[in-house]
Amino acid sequence: MTKQLDTTPKQDGFRMPAEHEPQAGIWMAWPERTDNWRYGGKPAQATFVAVATAIAKTTPVTMVVSAHQFENARTMLPSNIQLLEMSTDDSWMRDIGPSYVVNDNGERRGVDWHFNAWGGLLDGLYFPWDKDDAVARKVCETLGDNSYRAPIVLEGGSIHVDGEGTLYTTEECLLHPSRNPDLTREQIEAVLKEHLAIEKVIWIPQGLFNDETNGHVDNLIHVVRPGEIALTWCDDENDPQYPISRKALDVLETETDAKGRHIKVHKLPMPGPLFITEDEAGGIDASDGMERVAGERLAGSYANYLISNEHIIYPLLDKDHDDEVADLLATIYPGYQVSGVNAREILLGGGNIHCITQQIPQV
């Protein structure tokens, strides 16, 4: 019988492992929201199938789906991908799923954050979001894992950890008035330390330009391994991303991590800039919260990849840079398999491969 605990992971001796540590599975959620995914979600569904198929080469995948879409998803997905009926409001498993913590005795538990659709009634992307907010607990119950209901609003894509005490985030997101306006930076840090057993938070000023999540860190950087970061880089002085990447580099190169290491930064080229086309905008239902109009700048980033059991699944976004990024990732991750998936459809919905996946650690 699983339960929601009233202690904290730190009190109980649990810590959040890094993404490069061994994984038992990856969870995803099926896209069908017609005011976010064009043409009834059909192009996005095909892309989610491609992502799930690539991940399943090294890690078991579970896809959650509404009752309404179950038969369609089962028909489209390979038989080795587990399909599970579960209600959601959209399909960003990174942000709605649990952040898992583990201990030294081979146990794991989930951390269930409050979710408010990236901004609640202030600037959230949709309402209601109650189904999404219930997903993390449902995942934990399905897997037979106890969970903690954390006392703050937080999305999984707004944090990266190195597994050795360091957490990376952005001021733009975690200090945004639409998340936890009554809490100071110090109070938010205290909650993160208590619920993920980290020792140090490295605050990057801003996330990627025009990112509708209020600047999720996972769209700007990725933790390669402790003391090493991959950062989205822009060389065009006239691009609004140019100063954002430089400020991030400045922070990363002047800070030390929880273990006192100086941080090595690998620069990933920025794709594009990429914009929504007339055709792409034409297939999306009107919405109050989400900007899906022709000419809107897309928050494209190669940093939004997934690490799963010595396998990198990264987004193909720009023919001018896709191969260069594959070579860079192969150099940064020696011995890892590198798979590219054409991910523009995910980008059109507001995120990428990291955003639609959530890892379950192996214990």
As a whole number of angstroms, the distance between CA 11 and CA 287 comes to: 43
In Å, what is the CA distance from 301 to each residue of 44, 84, 289, 324, 325?
18, 30, 22, 14, 11
As a whole number of angstroms, the distance between CA 31 and CA 90 comes to: 6
Are residues 340 and 4 in contact, defined by beta-carbon separation less than 8 angstroms?
Answer: no
As a whole number of angstroms, the distance between CA 347 and CA 44 comes to: 10
Reply yes or no on whether 234 is catalytic: no
Report the helix count and the strand count for the chain, using DSSP H and E.
Answer: 12, 17
Are residues 325 and 353 in contact, defined by beta-carbon separation less than 8 angstroms?
Answer: no
> Which one from 140, 173, 234, 355 is the annotated catalytic residue?
355
Q: Cα 124–127–130 angle (5° rounding)?
A: 105
Say how far residue 240 (Cα) sits from the centre of its chain.
Answer: 23
Instruction: Write out the catalytic residue numbers.
Output: 355
